[in-house]
Each structure stands twice: as C-alpha cells, then as structure tokens.
Structure 1
Amino acid sequence: MNRRPLLATALAAVLLACGAALPAAAQTFPSKPIQMVVSAPPGSAPDVIARLLADQYRTRLGQPVVVENRPGAGGIIAVNAMKDAPTDGHRLLFAQAAVAVVTPFTYKEARYDMLRDFEPVSALASTPMLFVANPASGPKTWQDAVEQTRTRPQKLSLGNPTRTSIPHLAGELVDARSGGRFQHVPMSNTGQGLQAVVNGDTQMYVDGVAPLLPMVKAGRLRALAVTADRELPGLEGIALAKNVVPGTIVSGWFVLFAPKGTPQPVLEKLNTAAHESMHAPEVVAKMRELGNYPMGGSLHDAQTFVARERAMWSDVIRRANIVAE
C-alpha cells in the first residue's frame, strides 16, 4: 500500500490547522491581563509613557495592563525579566533606546540581541537631544561650536548626564560626522550636568529637551541646536544640528517588544493598538509636556527603525573606542 498520499494529506491537514489557528489567536487575544515590563523606575518619563500606553491598551484591547518596573543595570534586569516569557503576547517589554541598542555593546553582562530575541511591536515615541551653552562662557551659535571642535580639538567642554547615555553618544556622533572633537564630560545625572553648565564648569551640555527648555526660556542657558529631523512644536526657532553637521538626527526613544515567536496576527493587533494609542490627542498632549513626540507606524517600520538605530550606535561606540564594562 502506498502511504505517501496519506502522509501528504495528513501533513496538509496539520498545516491548514496551524494556519487557521493564527487568525483565531488574534481574535481571542488578549484573553487575560497583559504584563508590561518597563526598564525604568516608577515616576520616570519612560514609566509615565508606559502607563499612558497601558491605559490606552486597556480601553482598546479590553484587558487590564499591569506595569512591572524593573530598572537597573542598564536595562539588563528588565530584559532578564522577559526570559522564558510566553510567546502569546501577554508579556511585553517597554524599552528605551539605551536598553535596546546601547547596553548590548557597553555592558559585558548583556547577552541579548533585541532583534534576535524579540519582535519590535511598535516605535512609540521619541525625544530629540538639545545642545545648550552657558550664556557667558559658551559658544554663541551651533556653527561656532562645531568650528571650535575642529580648530581646537578637545578644548570645548560638553557635559552629558552619564557615560554611554544617548546624550553622550549624540556628542560622539557629532565628532564622528564633523571631524572635530569635544571634550566630553560625563556626569552622574542630569541635575549635576545642568548645574555644571549653569555654573560655567562646562561650556556646553547635551540632554533630552524636557529638562533643558525651562532653563533656556528663563535665559539661564542658550539653545544651540536640536537633533530633530525637522522643526518640532515647542522647539521653534532652534537651529537643527543636521544643517551644520549632516547625519546628526538623534533621539531618545521608546519601543515596545514582544518575545521572539509571538504570532504575527497578535503582533499586528498590538501594533495597530499602539499606533492609535500614541496618536490619541490626550496622549500627544501629555507626551508634549515630557518633551516627547509620537512615532507609530507598522511592524516593518518598527523593525527597520530598531535595526537602523542599532547599526548607527554600534558604529559610534566602536569609533569612540568605548569598551564594554
């Protein structure tokens, strides 16, 4: 008896059943509360944005979303908390840029690859970096600052909140693209960095826009350039860094990830809800207060974005001779 037709029929039936199960999974998802691991402490900007998304998800997906804060070790603790997570979409990781594409190259203990181990669900929000100067001792314009780094390398001091933070790497990127060289001065936190530039201990400082704009508006700091790709609401009149140093479009950002192997229909459902959530008027207004701007887009957009950022920052880290610690 020829068993091949029977085996082929059985295999076809199995494949058909699996194919039918995928749309069914999306229809029944979520079937229980969703857990969202956040790589930042309660009350921080990432936590606030994660909770905005959680509230929107609860309304749009019909299930509660429990935010689980796991800060520390450059995000390694949060990523480890996702180890062995089920691939059904009910446990997600909310990660900022440094966790996703910097820590893997700067921490020896980081043994993860976000594109190998996770599925990018949605690029949620971003905040550009702002270069500011002490009004008395710092350069007057962004053009002036860049020229100083070229003619007098490592003489113009540029503070940043911490070593290997996105602001620090933004300064290193400017060096790489301009041919100049700042004297990079990592601090222990944003507060210390702000105090140093206000006091004149450093001539310049770079960080996300939110903590800097109030001091710019008060006249205590001079805004030199923002690393956005275009003029953004609330940042009108500030020079774009890319107009003097091409290729210096930089942001701190937040991306939602699911474990590798999560069914495509579930990812699509999460992505659609995330895109709609980040563009809800009340969410946009709250993020603006935090200096963040909505992103969104498709699953492919999210994957392409993370891959591009990973390539850019790994190259900057290599060129700056930053070694993993």
Structure 2
Amino acid sequence: MKRLLTFLLTLSISSFSLAPLTSHAKTIFPDRPLKLMVGYAPGGPADILARLVAQGMSAKLGQPVIVENRPGAASSIAAGAVANAPPDGYTLLWGPSTPMVMNPVLRTNLGYNPTQDFTQLGMIADMVLVLVANNSVEIQSLSDLITQSKANPKKFFYGTSGAGSAMNVAAEKLKFETGINMDHVPFNGSAPNLSALMGGDIQIASDLTVAVMPLILSGKIKPIAVMSAKRLEQLPNVPTVAETIPGFEFSTFQAVQAPANLPEPIKLKLEETLKAVVNTPEFKRKLIDLNFIPAYSDGASAQARIEKEIASYQIVAKQANIKID
C-alpha cells in the first residue's frame, strides 16, 4: 500500500510539473507552415513583392510562408477566402488597394467587408500612378493639359487599364480637382492601354509606374506628372500633380492582412515580423528597384488609411458615375 501511494504521488508530481510545459508548447506560434494568399497570377509586380515578403517572414518565423495564387474577380476571391479562414494566423492575405479599397467602392456582393473582416498587419509599399502622354501631343506639363483641354473640349481622350481601376478613379479625381476636360477609354490591362497611347489612338494615359517606366526611359512616351506626394527617385525631373494642385495625391498600396479576431499575441508577432522584414535599408532598396515606394506602417495605421480612402473614393466614384456591378 505504501509503495502504491508513493507511486501515485510521484506520478501526480510528474504530471503537475509537465503541465506547464505542455501548455506552453501549445501556445508556440507558428508550429507549422503559413499560407499567404495572393489574388493575382504569378509573375506580376504584386506577386513578386509578396514572394519577397514571404521569404523574409519565413526566415524570421522559422516556418515556411507559402504563397498561394488565387486570382479572379479583382482579388475578391482570395480576400473572401481569407476573411472566412480560421483566425489562427496561419492564413494571410496579400491585400493591396484593389480588394481593400477599390472593390468595396465599386462592387457589390463582395462576400467580405474590408474594414470588419480582417486584422490589418501592416502596409509595405505604395505604387505611384503617372500621367503620361503621346510624344506627338503638344503638352509638356499638367498646366498645358488643363489649359488646352478647357480650350478644346472633347479633344483629349485618356486611357486606363480598365473601367473602375485605380487609374480610372485617380484620373477622374484629377479631372474634378483641375477642370481637365477629357473622356475615358478603358482597356483590358496596361499593355493595350499604353500601346494605344503610343499608336496615337489616345493622347493621355493614367497608369502605374511599373508599367510606364520602361517606356518613359526608352523615350517612347513622355511623363506629364506623378501622383505621389513627392517626386520619384527614378523620375527626379518629373513634377508631382501637387506642385500644380496643392494637396493632390493618389497611390495604390501593398499590405498584408489576417482574418478578423486574431489573438493579440499572434497579431503582435506577425506585425513585428512584417516590420522587421520590410523596414530595412536593403528591403527598401529592393522596393525602389521594383518601382515601388517604401511606405511601411503598422496595422492600426493601415486600418485608418483604408477607411479614409474608401470614404474619399466613394465620392469620386459617385461624381464620375463609376460602378462595376
């Protein structure tokens, strides 16, 4: 009997001493691979940047961060999948401006709410929009475009990569704030948009730096103005729109989200990991080389920016009667 009691006591003490270790083991995050869902096909600028971030996060977390491409419906398929995923930190979204801002402004029945269904982990970079012109057009500045378009209504047509795109909304915002008179011609992507510009089918185009930069540097089109707050390092001689229209700024962002209701310790770990990866001189250099602008901000700042931009772009979309469905 004495031996039995001694055995049970020993077992009880052993179990008690192991309990904290077992409990601690269950709280370790991450203990398996994470998934970063990207709503674009492989090979594009967003996908390339997402893979760089995933690689950096993998090294910091000690677990693979696997990029899963799920394109379609302007990234809303990927966004909806993450919004409905378990809030355990193992499913993340590469959520730039399109699914977070443009979709809720222009589309209905998304299947997710960008301001309620996600935990914002941080913004990484901005991609600037550029107003460019056909080389034969006698416009050298934004002031020239404003003056000539007012003097010759219906003379100018501007192209974008599609109706309801960020480039479309940016150009309409510019029209309302400057009085520029030009009509929109939507194309199915940047390539046909800029091809039409070079061919003279349109005089002006609004597009992303990653699309226009090679054509500008090769002299095939000319830049009129950039829509960033400051001049671009890659185009130091091209003025900003704000130099003519103070306060004007329009850019698209790249950010990372998790599902809503993410436990605070997991949120903090992912947020700190993301910051450690992207907020370094080496990574910022990579961003600039890819025609992005480094623009890290934490999750709370990302949430505030998204809410502000949705409210602002809703006004522009209503004024210009832009709606996808």
Does the alignment reach a TM-score above 0.5?
A: yes
Maintained 8 Å contact 2:80/2:111: no
Equivalent residue number for residue 122 of structure 1: 122
| CA displacement at 1:318 relative to structure 2 | 1.4
- 2:152 & 2:201 partners in 1: Cα distance? 18
Equivalent residue number for residue 132 of structure 2: 132
Q: 1:280 to 1:27 in 2, by over 3 A?
A: farther
Whichever residue aligns with residue 236 of structure 2, its letter is: E
Q: 1:98 to 1:69 in 2, by over 3 A?
A: same
Give 1:39-50 correspondences, 5 Å limit.
39-50=39-50
| CA displacement at 1:26 relative to structure 2 | 11
SS of equivalent residue, structure 2 residue 119: strand
Alpha-carbon displacement from aligned partner over 1:21-56 (angstroms, at most 9, x marks no partner): xxx799722222111111111111111111001000
Whichever residue aligns with residue 302 of structure 2, its letter is: A
Question: Does 270-279 or 218-227 show the bigger shift?
Answer: 270-279
SS of equivalent residue, structure 1 residue 81: helix
Equivalent residue number for residue 62 of structure 2: 62
RMSD of the alignment, in Å? 1.9
Q: 1:29 to 1:179 in 2, by over 3 A?
A: same
Maintained 8 Å contact 1:121/1:270: yes
- 2:298 & 2:191 partners in 1: Cα distance? 37
| CA displacement at 1:128 relative to structure 2 | 0.6
Question: Does 281-290 or 171-180 show the bigger shift?
Answer: 281-290
Does 2:147 correspond to 1:147?
Answer: yes
Q: 1:259 to 1:154 in 2, by over 3 A?
A: farther
Q: Which runs of 5+ in 2 are unaligned?
A: 1-23
Equivalent residue number for residue 216 of structure 2: 216
Does 2:170 correspond to 1:170?
Answer: yes
- 2:207 & 2:324 partners in 1: Cα distance? 22
Maintained 8 Å contact 1:123/1:255: yes
- 2:29 & 2:73 partners in 1: Cα distance? 33
Question: Does 298-307 or 113-122 show the bigger shift?
Answer: 298-307
Q: 1:83 to 1:121 in 2, by over 3 A?
A: closer
Maintained 8 Å contact 1:171/1:182: no
Q: 1:138 to 1:63 in 2, by over 3 A?
A: farther
TM-score, with length taken from structure 2: 0.87
Maintained 8 Å contact 2:163/2:324: no
- 2:163 & 2:238 partners in 1: Cα distance? 26
SS of equivalent residue, structure 2 residue 296: coil
Q: 1:26 to 1:243 in 2, by over 3 A?
A: farther
| CA displacement at 1:168 relative to structure 2 | 1.2
- 2:193 & 2:249 partners in 1: Cα distance? 22
- 2:62 & 2:127 partners in 1: Cα distance? 29
Q: 1:305 to 1:266 in 2, by over 3 A?
A: same
Q: 1:111 to 1:176 in 2, by over 3 A?
A: farther
Q: 1:153 to 1:31 in 2, by over 3 A?
A: farther
Q: 1:147 to 1:269 in 2, by over 3 A?
A: farther
TM-score, with length taken from structure 1: 0.87
Q: Which runs of 5+ in 1 are unaligned?
A: 1-23
Alpha-carbon displacement from aligned partner over 1:98-123 (angstroms, at most 9, x marks no partner): 11111123223313221111121101
Whichever residue aligns with residue 241 of structure 1, its letter is: V
Whichever residue aligns with residue 287 of structure 2, its letter is: M
Equivalent residue number for residue 200 of structure 2: 200
Equivalent residue number for residue 53 of structure 2: 53
Question: Does 235-244 or 172-181 show the bigger shift?
Answer: 172-181
Maintained 8 Å contact 1:39/1:77: yes
| CA displacement at 1:248 relative to structure 2 | 2.5
Report the structure number with the largest CA radius of gyration. 2
Give 1:286-305 correspondences, 5 Å limit.
286-305=286-305
Aligned residues: 302
Equivalent residue number for residue 10 of structure 2: none
Question: Does 208-217 or 124-133 show the bigger shift?
Answer: 208-217
Whichever residue aligns with residue 165 of structure 1, its letter is: S
Q: 1:261 to 1:183 in 2, by over 3 A?
A: same
| CA displacement at 1:69 relative to structure 2 | 0.6
Does 2:65 correspond to 1:74?
Answer: no
Equivalent residue number for residue 279 of structure 2: 279
Equivalent residue number for residue 20 of structure 1: none
| CA displacement at 1:235 relative to structure 2 | 2.0
Question: Does 124-133 or 109-118 show the bigger shift?
Answer: 109-118
- Identical amino acids, percent of aligned pairs: 29
